A = this chain, B = another copy of it.
Amino acid sequence: MKISARNQFEGIVKEINEGAVNAEVLIELADGLVIASIITMSAVKNIGLEVGKPATAIIKASNVMVGA
C-alpha cells in the first residue's frame, strides 16, 4: 500500500519508552538523524515494533512547521 504522506524516512528503532496509553519511539535514520514519534501502546504491539528492527517515520506535510 502506497501512503499519501509525503515524508517517509526509513531507519532502525533505537528506543521505545512505554506509558499507560502512549509510547515514545525513537527511529534512527542512516545518517544518524533521530526522529521521535508518539504512538499508542496498542500500535506498538500491532505492528510488532522492537528495538533494532527496521521502521519508517511517516509524516504528513501539513504537520511540518517551518522555522527561519
**Chain A residues near B (Cβ < 8 Å):** 1-9, 13, 17-25, 27, 29-31, 33, 35-40, 42-44, 46-49, 53-68
Contact = CB atoms under 8 A, between A and B. Distances in A.
A9 to B, nearest CB: 7
Contacts of A30: 31
Contacts of A23: 21
Nearest to A34: B7
Given A33-B31, A38-B61, A62-B62, A67 B4 contact: yes
Contacts of A58: 3, 64-67
B43 A56 contact: no
A36 to B, nearest CB: 4
